Amino acid sequence: MRSLLTGTALGGVLGAAAVGFAAMAWPQEDAGKPEDPRTATYQQIELFAEIFARAQRDYVVPIDEQEAMSAAINGMLMSLDPHSGYLDPEDFQSLQVQTSGEYGGLGIEVTMEDGFVKVISPMDGTPAAKAGIMPGDYITAINGKPIIGLTLNDAVKEMRGERGTELEITILREGIDPFQVTLVREVIQQKSVTWRTEPGDIGYIRVSTFNERTTLLLEEALDGLSRGPKPKGIVLDLRNNGGGLLDEAVKVADHFLSGGEVVSTQGRRPVDVERRNASKGESFKGVPMVVLINGGSASASEIVAGALQDRERALVIGTTSFGKGSVQSVIPLGADRGAIRLTTARYYTPAGRSIQALGIEPDLMITQVRLTQEELEKIERWSEADLPHALQNETGEARKELRMPDEQPPEGYEGEDFQLERAIQMLREGKTSASRMAAKAG
C-alpha cells in the first residue's frame, strides 16, 4: 500500500450467489427486535445483482460485462470523494509509470468536475504548459468527442498516446468562448526540480511535482547552490505543483528543517495517527527563505508549505493554495485485478491545522496580475472545496472568500513574474522576518 487517488450465465450465477449469501448471512429477526443496519446493505447487493442480470439479459446490445462492473466499482468509490477510485490493471500500471517520473502524454494534473476534466496545473515544460493551458481550464472534448460520460481514468487514457501523435482538445475558460488547441504528445520526462542562482546570490529552486526522483534532484540542486557563494536567500517555488508522493514531500521539507514534526496523518480510528519528523541537520541553516504558492499548489506541495510556515522556517507568499488535505493510499488487489485509490487519512500541519477544503493562506498575499475590486468579484473561485463530494474540513470552517491582495503589480507593469520578483527583492533587502512578524500580528 502506497500513499499519495460472461454471458447470461454470469448474471444468473451472480444473482444466485447474492441471494444465497443473503440467506446465509441474514438470520430472520425476531419480531420486535431492531433491524440489523447491515440488512439494508445486503439487500442493496442483491438489488445490484438483479439489475446487472437484467441489463445483461435485456439491454438492446450485449454489454461489456467487465467494463460495466469496473464502472460500478468506480462509481461507488468516486461517490465517496473526488480522489478515490478504482484502477483497472492498465490504469494501475499507468499510475506506477507516472510516479516513476516518465510517461507519454500532455503533462497536466487533472480532476473531474461537472462531467468535464478540470485542470489543476500544467507541468513545467510539457506540451500542455507550452500551449498555454491554465489552472482552472475545463477540457470538454478530445478530438471533437465530448468528454461527458467518460470517467476521469478514461479521459486520461484518451489524452495519452504515442510520442509525436497529435491530439485536439476543446478548452472552456472563464470569460471567453470555447476554443480548440492542437497538441503533440511527448514522452513526459518530469524533471521535477530545477534551480538557478539569481543576481544578488539568491538561490531559486523550482519543485514542479513530487515523484520518485524529486528528493534526488533536490539534493543535486542544493549541492549546486553550495558550490558558489553562500546564498543570501532561497526561494522555493511550489506554484502549480499538483502534489504527488507523501514520502517525497516529507523528505523535501526535511532538507530545510532541523528535527521536529513535518506532518501528521489521522485515519478513521483514533489510533491511526502517524507523525513524520525531520531528521537533524538542515541545508543552508539560517539562510532566509521564501516559499511561493498559488491555487494550483495542492496536496504534497501544501504539506511542504504548511510545515515551513508553521515552523517559521520560511515566509509563504502568493495566493491561497488548492486545499487538498487528504491522503490517498493505492491498495493493490492482486494479480490482474488492479488496485483501488482510497482516501484513508487527513493530514495536519505541525501546528495541528487541517487544510482540507481551506488551503494554505500565504503570509503575504501577492497576485501575478493587477485586479480591481470589480474584477475580483467576477473571478470564479475553484479549489478542493468546489469539487463534487469533497470532504469538508472537520472543524466546519469554510474556505475564505477572495479578497484584495496585500500587494499586486503596479500599473503598467511589464515584467514576467511579479511574485518571484517580490520574493527575491524581500530576500535581498532582508525583510522576510519582518514580513512574517507583520503577518502574524495581522
Catalytic residues: 299, 310, 324
* Phi, psi angle pair for 410, to nearest 5°: -70, 160
**N-term to C-term CA, the chain:** 43
44 residue type, one letter: Q
Per DSSP, the three-state class of 170 is strand
Number of neighbouring beta carbons within 10 Å of residue 101 = 19
Grid coordinates of 397: 470552517
Instruction: Give the burial class of 410: count Cβ atoms within 10 A of its Cβ; 0-12 exposed, 13-18 middle, 19 or more buried.
Output: exposed
List the alpha helices (DSSP H) in 207-245.
Answer: 214-226
User: What's the Cα-to-Cα distance from 304 to each of 189, 263, 324, 343, rounded to whole Å?
Assistant: 23, 9, 13, 20
CA–CA distance, 86 with 105 (Å, rounded to integer): 21
Q: Are 427 and 235 in contact (CB under 8 A)?
A: yes
Q: Are 343 and 328 in contact (CB under 8 A)?
A: yes
Q: Are 119 and 110 in contact (CB under 8 A)?
A: yes
- Phi-psi region at 111: left, alpha or beta (left = phi > 0; alpha = psi -120 to 50): beta
